[in-house]
Amino acid sequence: MMNRKYLAIALLLTFTVQSDWAQSLDARVMHGLMFAGQQIKRTALEIRDSTRFARSTMPDGSWKTSEASEWTSGFFPGALWYMHEYTSDPVFKSAAERWTAGITGQQFNSGTHDVGFMVFNSFGNGNRLFPSEPYKKVILQAAQTLATRFNPTIGCIKSWDNRKWDYPVIIDNMMNLELLFWAAENGGPSRLKEIAIKHAETTMNNHFRLDGSTYHVLGYDTTNGKVKVRNTHQGYADESVWARGQAWAIYGYTMTYRFTKDPRFLETAQRAADYFISHLPSDHVPYWDFLAPEIPNEPRDVSAAAIASSALFELSRYVEGNPLRVKYLGAAKKILGSLCSAPYLAEGTNSQAVLNHSVGNRPAQSEVDVSIIYADYYFIEAMLRCKSITEKK
């Protein structure tokens, strides 16, 4: 049954991609943004309770929601802010304000490294569009809270508590550094930037293989800071390459270069991007793990595609030389073009989300081949970045 399902997706792609690519990317992005606006507004009307946050879809296409304390909570208010930025529709602004307010208490949540996802995607986007002292105060406090998880012996921010590793650090954690960088530049102490840089350096030195691929989880020895184990948690195997983790690496190091202008981080972003791009299937949307054993009968992960596309749009702005710019911009556009098309765009399906075919945790059989809110968030971000680049030409 599983093989037939993914074979059907592959066959549908063969026919739809050929016809869809006849349209210009600009037209598809405009359509994707219009559809995203419809779905995000619909989600706000369906959920209503601003203390509950869209996370992933159930079999009937409706949203399963989470509490503010879950790592995904910031993506829905972030998507609302993005849609207001694009449309200027006051309905999006009002909803964004309500769901952002629902995350306020997470500024003090020292039990997770994901306070960056929670607070910066919500309050950060809100403050970017409508600078606010109360919003800024929350962001600065969240950064201070995140910094409490830093261990100078290891040189990293601890990712998880109460897991099988003494001191686990996951590649995803690169994304939360943006909170620290921004805070250090906007009234917070300079040590926040120092912590972010040290974490990026340590991860750069220990998480990457020679071919530019990344490990998901590293376990550190707290007595001497040395790596004890290199594992996976959501990928296929310890030595495989979890697609979303690789996308986090591209995005995280591109963002780190934005704040530091350190060429080491730009080179690291490129290494991660080169691996990702060179291992994509023909429609440019990765399987959930690049080395999953049953490819092509494995589920795709549009969340990894959306994150990578958004990151590649930014990366293309920083690299030197037209060939590299063309390479990364072209890859970003190809990925985005596929996401704007069937079967990935949720248009015409029962999903209340924007994109179909995401994978949360395949080994745990959790959130496999569903819609997931962070895929929608980065998809919208990628479309806005694409539109911005197009308009500047």
Banded pLDDT at 197 (limits 50, 70, 90): very high
Encoding tokens for residue 264? 């080491």
Q: In angstroms, rounded to a whole number, what is the distance separating the alpha carbons of residues 193 and 207?
A: 20
For each of the domains in the chain, give its residue range(s) and CATH number, in order of start: 1-48+247-393 (1.50.10.10)
Q: Are 166 and 228 in contact (CB under 8 A)?
A: yes
* Residues labelled catalytic: 114, 172
Banded pLDDT at 4 (limits 50, 70, 90): low
Q: Tokens 């929670």 appear where?
A: 118
- Residues near 323 by Cβ (< 8 Å), separated by ≥ 6? none
Tell me how crowded residue 387 is: count the other CB atoms within 10 A of its CB. 16
Is pLDDT above 50 for 14? no
Helical ranges in the chain per DSSP H? 2-20, 25-47, 75-87, 90-101, 115-119, 125-129, 133-147, 177-185, 191-206, 243-260, 263-278, 302-318, 322-339, 373-392
Tell me the whole-structure pTM to 2 decimals: 0.94
Is pLDDT above 80 for 15? no
Q: How far is CA 73 from the centre of its chain?
A: 13
Is pLDDT above 50 for 287? yes
Q: In angstroms, rounded to a whole number, what is the distance separating the alpha carbons of residues 341 and 202?
A: 39
b/e per residue 10-26 (b: at least 16 CB within 10 A):
eeebeebbeebeeeebe
Q: What is the pLDDT of residue 20?
A: 46
Which whole number is the average pLDDT over 20-31? Answer: 79
Which whole number is the average pLDDT over 367-386? Answer: 98
Which whole number is the average pLDDT over 318-325? Answer: 95
Chain segment 68-125, per-residue pLDDT in tens: 999 999 999 999 999 999 999 999 999 999 999 999 999 999 999 999 999 999 999 9
Q: What is the pLDDT of residue 19?
A: 44
Question: Phi and psi dihedrals of 286, rounded to 5?
Answer: -70, 155
